[in-house]
Structure 1
C-alpha cells in the first residue's frame, strides 16, 4: 500500500473541475449513462489506477474492472472500466488520464533500469533523488516503488547525507573528519553518508569511519577501479553512484560493484501513450 491522503485526491479534482464542466452542461448530456474504458497503445508498467478509482468514486461513478499498479499492460489492452453519468465520466476523464500516463511513464522507465541493472548485479538497487517537480512527490514516489526502485531519501529529515555545500561551513573535508565521531555519536541510529568526487576523499572518509560514500559524476571505469580499494579498507561501507545515470549507461554503472545507483532520469521522459473510449449505455 502507498498512502496518498484524500485531500490530495480532492486537489486533483479541484484543479480539473474548479466549479463545473461547462461543455457537458451546455450540451445537456450530463445525466446520460455511459461507460469509460482506458487502454494502452504500448506495453507499459501501470501505475495510478488506485488513485483514479478513488477519484472516480468521489465524483459518483463506479469502477467495473481494473488492473492494479505494477501490472504490465499490452498494446490495445483495456485495463480500467468505469460506469456513470456523462458529467461524472467527463469530470474524471483527463485528470485520470494524466495521472495514469505520467505515473506509468515513471514506473516503466524505473522497471527498465531495474531489469538492466539487476541482470548484471542481482544485489544492486536503483534509488531515486528528490528532484521531483513540486506537488507531485506522492505520485512520483509511488511510481518509482511500483517500478521496482526505491526513494533515495524522501526529505531532509530522513537521512544524513553530507554534500560539499555542507563542508563549506565545516572547513572542508578535514573539518568534517575532525567531528565525524561526534556526528556518529549524536545520531547513533543513523548512517552517515558523504558525497565525494574522487578516490582520495573517499579513502580518507573510509578510514575515518564513515558509513557510506556517494560518488558524484565519476565515470564507470574510474568507479570500477575505486571500489576494490575502498572495500579493502572497509568491506561493509555502503557505496553509491550518482550523477547522470540513465538508461543509456545504467549497465556500465551496474558493473562497477557499487551497492546502489542514484538517478533522477526516471522522472523525465515521455508519458505512456494511453487513451480513453466512451460509449453511451
Structure 2
C-alpha cells in the first residue's frame, strides 16, 4: 500500500536515539580500528525472504545521519512486495560510515518489514469484504509512529495514535464511572463536537444499551465469538461503526470479516510480528 512518507524531521529523533544507543560513548571502535578511513565501498541491502518491505526511509535516514556524504540509491519503496534476493537499496561511500550505521538501519527495516508483512497477511484474508484491518496502541514504546506507518505499508489502517486522539471508553472506564449510560451521558454533555467516541462492549445487552442511549459513533465488540459478532451486526443495522477485537488470529480473520463488521483490530500486528530477514552485503 502507498503511504505518504513522513517528514525526515519527525523521524530523526527516533533514529538519532537508536544511533546514539549503538555508538555509545566512543563510537564504532571496531570499524575505526580495522578499516582505513579512506576505504570506500558499495553496500547492498537485500531481501532474504519474501514479504512487504517497510522502514527503508528510516534505514536511509540512519545512514545519512552517520554520514551525509553517503550516496543512497533506492531500488524498492516502502509498501512494495519483495522476494528473496531482491535488491532494496544501495549505499555508496566511506565503508566506515556504512558499517557504523548498518545495525540500526537493519533493525528498523527488518522490524518494520515484519509488521508490514504480517499486516498484509491479515488484509489478504478480508478480500471480498468491506472490512478493514487496523492496529492498536500495543506498540513498542517510542516506536509507535513508525510501527503504525508499517501497518499502512502492509495495507492496513491506523487506530488512534494516542490517548488524546479520540474518546475510547473501555471496560475499566465503564466500571469506574458506574455503567454505560453514565459514561455516554458524560460524553454527550462534555466532549467536543470535533472528537469521535468509541465504546467497548462484550455482550449484546451492552450493545443494545449503547444503541438506545446514543453518544458513541463506534462500538468495539470485544472478545465475541463469530456467531455473536454476526448478531451484533444485525442489531446495529449500520447505526454505528463496528470494530471487532480480541483474539484476532490470522486463521480467524476471514470468518470475522464475513460477519460484516467494519473493522478488525489486532494488537498482534505490532506486538507479535516476526522480523523480516534482510541483509546488508558488501
Map of 1:92-111 to 2, 5 A cutoff? 92-111=101-120
- Per the alignment, residue 154 of structure 1 pairs with 161
- Answer yes or no: is 1:244 the counterpart of 2:233: no
Distance between the aligned counterparts of 2:181 and 2:46, measured in 1?
57
Distance between the aligned counterparts of 1:173 and 1:75, measured in 2?
51
Once the two structures are superposed, residues 84-136 of structure 1 have per-residue CA deviations (whole angstroms, 9 ceiling, x without a partner) of 1121011111111111110000001111111211x131x21111110112121
Distance between the aligned counterparts of 2:184 and 2:55, measured in 1?
45
Q: Tell me which of 31, 39, 46 is aligned to 2:46.
A: 39
- Per the alignment, residue 203 of structure 1 pairs with 208
TM-score (norm 1): 0.91
99-108 or 47-56: bigger deviation? 47-56
- Per the alignment, residue 220 of structure 1 pairs with 226
- Structure 1: give runs of 5+ residues left out of the alignment: none
Q: Tell me which of 163, 167, 178 is aligned to 2:174.
A: 167
Map of 1:1-281 to 2, 5 A cutoff? 1-3=5-7, 4-18=10-24, 19-60=26-67, 61-117=70-126, 119-121=127-129, 123-179=130-186, 181-183=188-190, 186-209=191-214, 210-231=216-237, 235-267=238-270, 268-278=272-282
- Structure 2: give runs of 5+ residues left out of the alignment: none
Aligned length: 271
Distance between the aligned counterparts of 2:45 and 2:183, measured in 1?
54
8 A Cα contact 1:45 1:73, kept in partner: yes
SS in 1 for 2:114: helix
Q: CA RMSD in A?
A: 1.6
8 A Cα contact 1:216 1:243, kept in partner: yes
**TM superposition shift of 1:144:** 0.7
